[in-house]
């Protein structure tokens, strides 16, 4: 089993899956909603039972009121019809007392007491059976009235208790509803927080890192997540970034070798003239070795010495460029003139290259790196002037701690779309180019704490402005 297979097995075995977490969150949310619905349904059922049960209390209370009403009629007229109506309502009330719904609002003792009172009321009433025209027993009548009043009072209390139970049930339903809504909102909030931490935040970090990658920062993705999807995605991205970094380093080296090739061509051209002059002077000196003209021979030797020094300076310039150095303070004019001397052979005859830099102006950076910046900018300017033109390299002191370098040409120029991408890695408008020249220029300048900007218009040329520190911070 290969290392990658072992890694994938461990990842599947010990790391959680974001998909599983989302599914679990979905089912948990569905369970919470279902629980909330069941709680609401239970509240509605309880309220319905209380309402239905309350109908028995209402009927009992209304019946006792009817008993009292017909009781008055009976004692007023003492008719057989009133007595029968009153007896019927007493029987109806006795039947209502047998309903089990009453136990929701009062105790069995109260119901039993009501049964006894109603039976006693019926017994007292039967002792005062109606006889048309007969006067009743005042004492018995008062007892019947008192007992009827007790019955109505008790059923009224049961009715009040029914109202209280209704209110309590409504309050309980409200509390349960509020609790359910609160629990649902809390679950939604908790789910949102978890989803944000597990998905949105890592994706946001990935997005920000991708933006930095587009600007050339090939640093590894630091997203911390224990979800398999993000771990796998991070591993794939980091592998891709390592490959891109290796390829970029290879292309940067290729760009350096291309610049070095330009210098070698210029060095060969620069060395050809002094070596030719040395060779000619040596041949003449050999021919004149026997003559006595000492002054002429000294002149030839002086020419050989001068041309040798010239060749030595060219080789020294090449060595200085190829040798990587740390940051230091160096004269900008000599560095630029040395660079231009090395690439002079690359400058077409129809392109004028001018330098205007104060002799005492210095910058604090890497000499070789700044020379590479000048080479890239000059070469780009040459490529932009197929029909010829003028390139100027200017510099001045910007303030006490900064110098400004300006490389401008009157070539083809660039439009806004090109300007927006000019420093992006791998962007090029030239056939066969890597698109790393200006990216490297931008990287070098910013590495030394400087800034670079560009101003260009189609058909009017391009101006690069570089600001570099003049002394160590």
- Who contacts 251 (Cβ-Cβ below 8 Å, separation ≥6)? 434, 436
The CA distance from 119 to 438, in Å, is 111
Topology (CATH) of 327-473: Heat Shock Protein 90 (3.30.565)
Burial annotation 195-216 (CB, 10 A radius, 16+ → b, else e): eeebbeebeebbeebeeebeeb
**Residue 403: φ, ψ to 5°:** -120, 150
> With bands split at pLDDT 50, 70 and 90, how would you rate the model's confidence at 394?
very high
Q: How would CATH label the architecture of 17-206?
A: Up-down Bundle (1.20)
- What average pLDDT does the segment 61-65 reach? 90
CB atoms near residue 473 (< 10 Å): 6
Render pLDDT for 186-201 as a digit per residue (tens, 0 to 9): 877 887 787 677 667 7
Quote the pLDDT of residue 460.
85
Domains 17-206 and 327-473 share a fold: no
More confident residue, 236 or 324: 236
Give the range with max mean pLDDT: 184-188, 418-422, 455-459: 455-459
In the prediction, which pLDDT does 468 show?
92
In the predicted model, is pLDDT for residue 431 greater than 70? Answer: no
Higher pLDDT, 81 or 19: 81
pTM of the complete model: 0.44
At 408, the pLDDT band (50, 70, 90 cuts) reads very high
Confidence tier at 84 by pLDDT (50, 70, 90): confident
pLDDT digits over 326-366, tens only?
Answer: 688 889 998 898 888 877 777 888 888 899 999 899 999 98
* Domain boundaries of the chain, sorted by first residue: 17-206, 327-473
pLDDT in tens, 292-316: 567 766 766 776 776 676 666 666 6
Q: What are phi and psi of 466, to 5 degrees?
A: -115, 135
Mean pLDDT calculated for residue range 355-381 = 88
Report strand pairing: 362-365 vs 389-399. Answer: unpaired
Could you read off the pLDDT of 261-279 as tens digits, one per residue? 555 655 565 566 667 767 7
């Amino acid at each position: 089993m290969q290392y990658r297979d072992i890694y994938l097995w461990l990842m599947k075995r010990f790391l959680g899956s974001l998909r599983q977490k989302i599914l679990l969150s979905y089912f948990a949310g569905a369970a919470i909603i279902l629980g909330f619905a069941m709680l609401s349904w239970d509240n509605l059922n309880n309220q319905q039972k209380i309402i239905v049960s309350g109908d028995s209390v209402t009927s009992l209370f209304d019946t006792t009121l009817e008993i009292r009403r017909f009781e008055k009629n009976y004692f007023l007229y003492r008719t057989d019809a009133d007595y029968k109506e009153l007896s019927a309502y007493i029987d109806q009330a006795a039947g209502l007392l047998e309903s089990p719904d009453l136990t929701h609002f009062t105790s069995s003792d109260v119901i039993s007491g009501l049964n006894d009172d109603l039976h006693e009321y019926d017994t007292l009433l039967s002792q005062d059976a109606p006889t048309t025209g007969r006067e009743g027993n005042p004492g018995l009548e008062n007892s019947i009235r008192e007992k009827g009043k007790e019955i109505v009072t008790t059923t009224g209390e049961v009715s009040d208790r029914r109202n209280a139970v209704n209110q309590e049930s409504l309050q309980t339903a409200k509390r349960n509803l509020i609790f359910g809504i609160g629990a649902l909102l809390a679950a939604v909030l908790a789910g949102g927080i978890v989803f944000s931490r597990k998905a949105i935040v890592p994706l946001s970090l990935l997005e920000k890192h991708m933006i930095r990658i587009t600007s050339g920062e090939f640093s590894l993705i630091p997203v911390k997540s224990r979800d398999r999807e993000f771990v796998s995605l991070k591993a794939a991205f980091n592998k891709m970034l390592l490959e891109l970094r290796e390829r970029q380093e290879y292309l940067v080296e290729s760009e350096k070798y291309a610049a070095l090739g330009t210098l070698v061509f210029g060095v060969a051209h620069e060395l050809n003239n002094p070596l030719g002059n040395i060779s000619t002077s040596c041949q003449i000196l050999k021919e004149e070795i026997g003559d006595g003209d000492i002054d002429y021979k000294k002149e030839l030797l002086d020419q050989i010495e001068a041309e040798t020094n010239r060749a030595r300076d060219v080789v020294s310039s090449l060595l200085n460029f190829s040798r990587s150095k740390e940051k230091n303070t160096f004269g900008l004019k000599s560095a630029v003139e040395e660079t231009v001397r090395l690439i002079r052979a690359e400058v077409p005859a129809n392109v004028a290259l001018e330098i205007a830099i104060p002799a005492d102006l210095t910058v604090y950076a890497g000499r070789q790196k700044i020379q590479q910046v000048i080479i890239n900018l000059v070469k780009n300017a040459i490529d932009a002037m197929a029909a010829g033109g003028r390139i100027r390299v200017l510099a001045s002191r910007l303030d006490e701690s900064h110098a400004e370098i300006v490389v401008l040409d009157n070539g083809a120029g660039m439009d806004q779309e090109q300007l927006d991408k000019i420093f992006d890695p791998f962007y090029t408008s030239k056939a066969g180019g890597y698109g790393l020249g200006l990216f490297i220029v931008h990287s070098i300048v910013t590495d030394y704490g400087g800034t670079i900007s560009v101003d260009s218009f189609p058909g009017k040329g391009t101006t690069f402005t570089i600001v570099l520190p003049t002394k160590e911070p």
